[in-house]
Structure 1
Amino acid sequence: MRVLFLFLIFCINLSAQSQEQWLVGKVFIHGSGEPLPGATVSLLSGKSVVTSSTGGFRIPSSSISDTIIVSSVGYENLRLAIASTPLQIYLKPTGKQMEEVVITGTMRAIQRSASPVPVEVYSPQFFRKNPTPTIFDALQMVNGVRPQLNCNVCNTGDIHINGMEGPYTMVLIDGMPIVSSLASVYGLQGIPNSLVERIEIVKGPAASLYGSEAIGGLINVITRSPSKAPAISIEYSATSWREHNIDAGFRFRTGPKSQALVGINYFNFTHRYDKNKDNFTDLTLQNRLSLFQKISWKRKDDRQAGIAIRLFTEDRYGGEMQWTRQFRGGDSVYGEQISTKRAELIGNYQLPVSEKINASWSANTHSQRSAYGNTIFNADQHIGFAQLTWEKNAGSHHQLLSGIVGRYTWYDDNTAATADSSGIINQPDRIFLPGIFLQDEITLNSKHQLLAGLRYDHDKRHGSIWTPRAAWKWQISEVEHLRLNAGTGFRVVNLFTEDHAALTGARKVIIEGDLKPEQSLNGNINYTRKFIFNRGYMNLEAAAWYTYFRNRILPDYNTDPDAIIYRNLDGYALSRGSSLNIEASFSNQLRLTAGFTLQDISIVEKDETGKKTANRQILTEPWSGTWTISYTFGKTGWSADYTGNVYGPMKLPLVSSLDPRNPYSPVWSMQNLQLTKKYSNGFEWFGGVKNLLNFTPARNNNFIIARANDPFDKQVERDGSGNILATPDNPYAMSFDPNYVYAPNQGRKLFFGIRYHYKGRN
């Protein structure tokens, strides 16, 4: 018995010792050999740890022969049997690794987790969960970002970030301010999806680096480097509404040290639908072609050099079903027809010196010929931009970035915006806006990082404009970060008169007083946390913001029903809110994202008695949500995606006190379902249903377009003061107006497409 007792004690002690064994090691990035912090190290027994800032880990194991699973976002998962300890593990980056490197927040290539400025990054794979023919449409999947249609007839629009309207959103292509003013919607159309590497979004003012128009946020479309793009990439899709979209990209060598990437996008929709029976097209007819070419050179010490050009042409039409081109500009059959031609040039060159000095430039020309009923709108715009930046390490704790910039804008149209005070002599708008900026990223210690920046711009009309900003990042732990940002923004007066309410022929444009530049003061807080599960992870991001605006330029539609009066706000405007984003993955088969935004966009101004009153901004939802749920069926190549949006009630633009249409939109949702099959030879097909609930604005209204039966107001009667009278033919005292729009008129539709990718050799 004593021997048996001693044997049991020995076994228990041995078991305890085995349970107390520790597996130690480090995780590195394959290729570079750099440590990989934040990677998840798991055992089949269920225990998990996260690697430290040096890539190290220590995990208890009951057996030295256990199996270990190592994973990290942007890297290939690795599963291996443990033979000895300590371990040296190397993870290979995937295409998603590029999502972890951002440039927009600080204008420097930096790990996303290390950036003191919160930057949201989205890959083409994310947008393929709900494929769309344009980036403009694709952005509806991003929480807090909403494509807003501004015209029920021609379907042009802009991008809202956290409720702020399109003029406050700067759109960049490869960091260059290609898209602005006249091209707010066209700049996000026709970019071949096969050429997009990722899209970076900064919410909140970024004027201290990017200048005017980056007052509410910015969207940076990063195109692929030719050396990393597939040799061939082709996608074709079609819908039951007879829409056709072709997207193709090709890579080839142009010399021993240069490669080129060519992209083509063609979209065609020429079939007229009138399902709401108002004799107007439900969806604008479009015929669009875009060509893109990018060349990069391989240089000594990996210095950058590249140039890209994009050509864009489009014809779009919306209006009465019987309209043809012979009615263009006339007053018998109403139609809105827009012809657009656009060319863009982007370039960058890193100087051959020991310091990191980059020169970048862009130029674009935009020509638009439009007819809105019997109102002709012709406009031309030319923009040149140049920038020189210098990155410099000032000791071990300071990373400096300085730059000088210059932007020249020439704009001309046939409206009051480019006429002298008499309104007779045409005076094209010429604006030269030079600037200089300095930014210092300060590493206080391993946990705290501070960013301070200041920009100075000079406008001959407004004088000196200063825009400072500051940011602080606290790394609470390897998986938890807190960021605080504060700064100012500005937007110089650049009145874009293609306001569709002004161009329907029913309203004229009046500019009241000398308009001053708009300014904003912003503060926001951002918190991120990563949670590790046995076979998955969840990323949580919470944010809150507050923005105070001065000198907002607001259109007044109410004082005169036949005019739009532009003036600086006699008061102030507020944008405040909070948002929550969740990204999760379970067993590499089930993935989901969800986002929710709560916001209050209000305008405070004085009434006739001098009392301040607050009014909610029209076409702005008080809350919204987005989601994606994706499931991969093992290794079969099959996957399913369920995506959607939901929006709270928006205040809508009514045209009279008797207008019977709903003053607020209902809670409405767009939901989509997609099934995809991938093959090992590079082919894949996809198909599904969009707008599952078949929602359109007509569901809650007797009509959408005001007086669609009389688009030229020929039967509208007015009193001696010009006010519209209620008559038997016009019981609601309305004039023709197509601007009551908050959601697409396109109902449920089926879609189908095929893709092909051939990686080739570099």
Structure 2
Amino acid sequence: MQKLLLILCVFLCTSTTYAQKIFKVVIKSEENKLALQGATISIIGSSVKAISNEIGVATLTNIPDGKQTIKINNIGYNEKTVTVTFPVNQQTALEILLTPSEDELEEVIISSTRTSRTIQNTPTRVETIELEEIDEKSNMRPANVSMILHESTGISVQQTSATSGNASIRIQGLDGRYTQLLKDGYASFGNFANGLSILEIPPLDLSQVEIIKGPASTLYGAGAIAGVVNFISRTPREKADYNFIVNQSNVGQTNIGGFAMSRNKKVGYSLLALANFQKPYDVDKDDFTELPKSKDFTIHPKLFLYPNERTTLIIGNAFTTSDRTGGDIFLIRDGKSAEHTYFENNKTIRNTSTLDYSLKLDERDLFRVKTSFNYFKRNIGIPDYTFKGNNYNAYTDISYLKNIKNQSLIFGGNLVYDDFRDEKQSLSKSFKTKTAGLYFQHTWDATEKLKLESGIRTDLVNYFNSLYKNTDFFVLPRVSALYKFSDKWSSRIGGGLGYKTPTLFTEQTETFQYQNLLPLNGVQSEKSYGGTADVNFKTNIGEDWLISLNQMFFYTRISNSTILLQDANANFFFTNTSFPVNSLGFESNAKIIFKEYFKLFAGYTFTNAKADYLPVIQDIRLLPKNRLNLALLYEKERNFKLGLEGYFTDRQYLYNNFQTPSYWEFGFMAEKVFGKISIFINAENFTDTRQSKYKSVVNGSHNNPTFDDIWTHTEGRTFNAGIKLKL
């Protein structure tokens, strides 16, 4: 009997000691009581540490006796400490609630896929550029969004004019006409309006930029073969927000602008106003401008009406006017003379009126009507030649979002009318396109790990001019899937079909201002198929490190491609070819965050895009196969930020079949906050990478110059500084 009692005593003592050495906690968000995975729990002054699992539970072992302070950290939440005296007889796990940090980024909601889901639960691969990064890039170039896109992996901004600075956007190496630009879901920048689009979209009112790479015609119709870039505007909150900026650069650019927004229960507003002034700038002293003399002005008021909790009506009107003159700098400064006659002038007026009506039929369903009318006028003038055109675009979209258990259904249709009118009578380039489309999309949370999205669009398209007319009917299926292997690993895969209706307005025709360009005649729509697949990995290392990795592969094939040829009379014309265009490659992205202060971003893009119709060398012109983006940021929230960036661009083929050298460029930025005022400085391309260092861009005489293809910076290093006021 004594032996039995002794054994029982030993067992109980051992169990008690074991219990004293193990302590369990469950970590939850105070805001919604959801379990937090990846939180770091540690005993201050010891090596005891644990990380919470998928249900928020963490187990601490080998805890020293006595009063101990337990520290809990999780990114996006305030640090918390609790004191416990050990040993302790614990019956249930200690629940610890963390409060969200004031500096926590809002949950990223995606609107480009029409479902308004969080980015973590969207099967379609969507990349976002969020407000913080938009704000940083606005310091570098407040005039337009070109800097935001230029520094994104897999996207390039291709300059098309040596003197006027016009540019277009390329995704995955494909020509700019295959990328659809949207502002709040409205397609106001296509075809003729595309040439100066990114130079006329200011970043000051943006809250987010959403990028879908690969065929997206099922979502948005024609022109989304390479992808979609959707610029999302900020919406007013009850707390008023007023932002002002003044910027000055060494290259002669001045920017003055502001954005304001506010609302109450029934009415809200937002207002963007921006003026940009650029002096003619000739860095290489060849007497021709690298940056044109320009004056741009944008004003964009929006009225938000909330008749009740279920209804929202948004009425907006964006107006932009621009006057840009490049060419012989002596002509621009002093006027025309016998020795100085060359110029290139672009005058544009863009006005877009929008109406957006939303009605929540219950807590989950949404009926929406969006309509817009866009007017774009552009006059191009060079010696002995003038091109004038007006583009009218009307767009209406009606959709119904139905949410049922684990599923979202979207039914919708839209009408698009695009009318380009050439004011010249000879060789009139006037062209009309009418499109009627129906679409359906189904998003299904099959399991906690598997999310599926499928959709189909049918478009009936009629396009014509005085020489020919054609009607096409397209059936465009699309499918994508998201699979979460664990809390750290996930993968997306998706693909679909696309198409592009004929257009005269491309990167190539922009370079010669559409001179000697014949009207479209018999040209048919281009068709495509393609897809993307990626793998994501995200983890915490200890309480200080966050690592995020993404590896994406892409492929797009365009058939019935349109190509630009020249006839015996030196006139240019478009025709279709049976030879396809293929673009394939991959993107690698890494983000490393240390203590939320140091942030390292790295992106590598490999693009192998070929046009089978090109003789000898089939590589797409002005496209580097390898590109590397590096950015290091050190930031103390609401105090200061410092950033260093580096970009490597590989060799590129020019249209004359010569190859450019590869090159590096570097940039630096700094911003200091003093309460509601912040001061910023920026040094872009401070190593002065410049095309004219390799070879003069301008050839021939002053009165009859020709220009090389643009493959890197023409203006060289740029320094700017400014002041921002936030109220």
Provide the TM-score with structure 1 as the length reference.
0.85
What does the per-residue CA deviation read over 1:619-674, in whole Å, with 9 as the maximum and x for residues that have no partner? 11111111210113x689232101232211111133xxxxxxx9222112221111
Matches within 5 A, 1:684-699: 684-699=678-693
Corresponding residue for residue 707 of structure 1: 700
Corresponding position: 1:647 with 2:646 = no
What does the per-residue CA deviation read over 1:532-582, in whole Å, with 9 as the maximum and x for residues that have no partner? 11112011111001111101112236x769443311123111000000111
What is the aligned counterpart of 1:748 among 709, 717, 723? Answer: 717
Matches within 5 A, 1:155-174: 155-174=165-184
Q: CA deviation at 1:39?
A: 5.3
With over 3 angstroms needed to count, the CA separation of the structure-2 counterparts of 1:706 and 1:567, relative to structure 1, is farther
With over 3 angstroms needed to count, the CA separation of the structure-2 counterparts of 1:511 and 1:256, relative to structure 1, is closer
Alpha-carbon distance in 2 for matches of 1:428, 1:238? 41
Q: CA deviation at 1:452?
A: 1.2
What does the per-residue CA deviation read over 1:477-500, in whole Å, with 9 as the maximum and x for residues that have no partner? 122111110111111113227855
With over 3 angstroms needed to count, the CA separation of the structure-2 counterparts of 1:267 and 1:502, relative to structure 1, is closer
With over 3 angstroms needed to count, the CA separation of the structure-2 counterparts of 1:242 and 1:356, relative to structure 1, is same
Q: CA deviation at 1:513?
A: 5.2
Q: CA deviation at 1:188?
A: 3.0
What does the per-residue CA deviation read over 1:388-409, in whole Å, with 9 as the maximum and x for residues that have no partner? 1111134x24321111111111
Corresponding position: 1:521 with 2:535 = no
Alpha-carbon distance in 2 for matches of 1:46, 1:594? 33
The letter for the 1-side match of 2:723 is: I
Gaps of 5+ in 2: 1-8, 85-89, 463-469
Q: CA deviation at 1:127?
A: 3.6
Q: Conserved in 2, the CA contact under 8 Å of 1:385 and 1:407?
A: yes
Corresponding position: 1:584 with 2:592 = yes
Q: Conserved in 2, the CA contact under 8 Å of 1:38 and 1:479?
A: no
Question: What is the DSSP-based 3-state SS (H/G/I as helix, E as strand, rest coil) of the residue aligned with 1:138?
Answer: helix
Q: Conserved in 2, the CA contact under 8 Å of 1:116 and 1:473?
A: yes
Q: CA deviation at 1:34?
A: 6.3
Question: What is the DSSP-based 3-state SS (H/G/I as helix, E as strand, rest coil) of the residue aligned with 1:35?
Answer: coil
With over 3 angstroms needed to count, the CA separation of the structure-2 counterparts of 1:365 and 1:739, relative to structure 1, is farther
Q: CA deviation at 1:220?
A: 0.7
Corresponding residue for residue 60 of structure 2: 60
Question: What is the DSSP-based 3-state SS (H/G/I as helix, E as strand, rest coil) of the residue aligned with 2:707?
Answer: coil
Question: What is the DSSP-based 3-state SS (H/G/I as helix, E as strand, rest coil) of the residue aligned with 1:182?
Answer: helix
What does the per-residue CA deviation read over 1:137-164, in whole Å, with 9 as the maximum and x for residues that have no partner? 3211211111110110111010011111
With over 3 angstroms needed to count, the CA separation of the structure-2 counterparts of 1:622 and 1:574, relative to structure 1, is same
Matches within 5 A, 1:408-447: 408-414=417-423, 426=428, 428-447=430-449
Question: What is the DSSP-based 3-state SS (H/G/I as helix, E as strand, rest coil) of the residue aligned with 1:477?
Answer: coil
What does the per-residue CA deviation read over 1:103-159, in whole Å, with 9 as the maximum and x for residues that have no partner? 21x211101011101111112321444421211232112111111101101110100
What is the aligned counterpart of 1:363 among 345, 355, 373? Answer: 373
Corresponding residue for residue 675 of structure 1: 670
Corresponding position: 1:111 with 2:111 = no
With over 3 angstroms needed to count, the CA separation of the structure-2 counterparts of 1:300 and 1:136, relative to structure 1, is same
Alpha-carbon distance in 1 for matches of 2:48, 2:703? 71
Alpha-carbon distance in 1 for matches of 2:103, 2:568? 55
Cα RMSD (Å): 3.0
Question: What is the DSSP-based 3-state SS (H/G/I as helix, E as strand, rest coil) of the residue aligned with 1:126?
Answer: helix
What is the aligned counterpart of 1:666 among 661, 664, 667? Answer: 661
Matches within 5 A, 1:121-520: 121-130=128-137, 131-133=140-142, 134-227=144-237, 230-253=240-263, 257-270=266-279, 272-324=280-332, 333-351=341-359, 353-354=361-362, 355-394=365-404, 396-414=405-423, 426=428, 428-460=430-462, 461-496=470-505, 499-500=508-509, 503=512, 508-510=516-518, 514-520=522-528
Q: CA deviation at 1:586?
A: 0.2
The letter for the 2-side match of 1:576 is: L
Question: What is the DSSP-based 3-state SS (H/G/I as helix, E as strand, rest coil) of the residue aligned with 1:706?
Answer: strand
Q: Conserved in 2, the CA contact under 8 Å of 1:377 and 1:503?
A: no
Alpha-carbon distance in 1 for matches of 2:135, 2:318? 23
Alpha-carbon distance in 2 for matches of 1:616, 1:480? 35
Residues matched between the structures, number = 693
What does the per-residue CA deviation read over 1:404-439, in whole Å, with 9 as the maximum and x for residues that have no partner? 111111111246xxx7xxx66x57322210100001
The letter for the 2-side match of 1:479 is: K
Q: CA deviation at 1:340?
A: 0.7
Alpha-carbon distance in 1 for matches of 2:474, 2:338? 45
Question: What is the DSSP-based 3-state SS (H/G/I as helix, E as strand, rest coil) of the residue aligned with 1:471?
Answer: strand
Corresponding residue for residue 728 of structure 1: none
Question: What is the DSSP-based 3-state SS (H/G/I as helix, E as strand, rest coil) of the residue aligned with 2:177?
Answer: helix
Alpha-carbon distance in 2 for matches of 1:563, 1:36? 68
Q: Percent identity?
A: 18
With over 3 angstroms needed to count, the CA separation of the structure-2 counterparts of 1:739 and 1:438, relative to structure 1, is farther
Corresponding position: 1:629 with 2:624 = no
Alpha-carbon distance in 2 for matches of 1:690, 1:644? 10
The letter for the 2-side match of 1:617 is: I
Corresponding position: 1:571 with 2:579 = yes
Question: What is the DSSP-based 3-state SS (H/G/I as helix, E as strand, rest coil) of the residue aligned with 1:189?
Answer: helix
Q: Conserved in 2, the CA contact under 8 Å of 1:454 and 1:467?
A: yes
Question: What is the DSSP-based 3-state SS (H/G/I as helix, E as strand, rest coil) of the residue aligned with 1:508?
Answer: coil
Corresponding residue for residue 722 of structure 1: none
With over 3 angstroms needed to count, the CA separation of the structure-2 counterparts of 1:11 and 1:154, relative to structure 1, is farther
Question: What is the DSSP-based 3-state SS (H/G/I as helix, E as strand, rest coil) of the residue aligned with 2:146?
Answer: helix
Corresponding residue for residue 127 of structure 2: 120
Question: What is the DSSP-based 3-state SS (H/G/I as helix, E as strand, rest coil) of the residue aligned with 2:713?
Answer: coil
Q: CA deviation at 1:194?
A: 3.0
Alpha-carbon distance in 2 for matches of 1:532, 1:256? 41
Q: CA deviation at 1:600?
A: 0.5
Corresponding residue for residue 39 of structure 2: 40
Q: CA deviation at 1:229?
A: 7.2
Alpha-carbon distance in 2 for matches of 1:677, 1:8? 65
Question: What is the DSSP-based 3-state SS (H/G/I as helix, E as strand, rest coil) of the residue aligned with 1:125?
Answer: helix
Q: CA deviation at 1:742?
A: 1.3
Q: Conserved in 2, the CA contact under 8 Å of 1:328 and 1:374?
A: no
The letter for the 2-side match of 1:172 is: L
Corresponding residue for residue 542 of structure 1: 551
Alpha-carbon distance in 1 for matches of 2:449, 2:238? 34
With over 3 angstroms needed to count, the CA separation of the structure-2 counterparts of 1:82 and 1:434, relative to structure 1, is farther
Q: CA deviation at 1:352?
A: 6.2
Q: CA deviation at 1:700?
A: 1.3
What is the aligned counterpart of 2:601 among 589, 593, 597? Answer: 593
With over 3 angstroms needed to count, the CA separation of the structure-2 counterparts of 1:181 and 1:207, relative to structure 1, is same
The letter for the 1-side match of 2:34 is: P
Alpha-carbon distance in 1 for matches of 2:206, 2:410? 26
Question: What is the DSSP-based 3-state SS (H/G/I as helix, E as strand, rest coil) of the residue aligned with 1:178?
Answer: coil
The letter for the 2-side match of 1:348 is: D
Q: CA deviation at 1:38?
A: 5.0
With over 3 angstroms needed to count, the CA separation of the structure-2 counterparts of 1:427 and 1:220, relative to structure 1, is closer
With over 3 angstroms needed to count, the CA separation of the structure-2 counterparts of 1:550 and 1:614, relative to structure 1, is farther
Q: Conserved in 2, the CA contact under 8 Å of 1:235 and 1:756?
A: yes
Alpha-carbon distance in 2 for matches of 1:329, 1:297? 56
Gaps of 5+ in 1: 1-6, 608-612, 655-661, 712-735
Q: Conserved in 1, the CA contact under 8 Å of 2:429 and 2:519?
A: no
Provide the TM-score with structure 2 as the length reference.
0.88
Alpha-carbon distance in 2 for matches of 1:556, 1:312? 34
Q: Conserved in 2, the CA contact under 8 Å of 1:150 and 1:739?
A: no
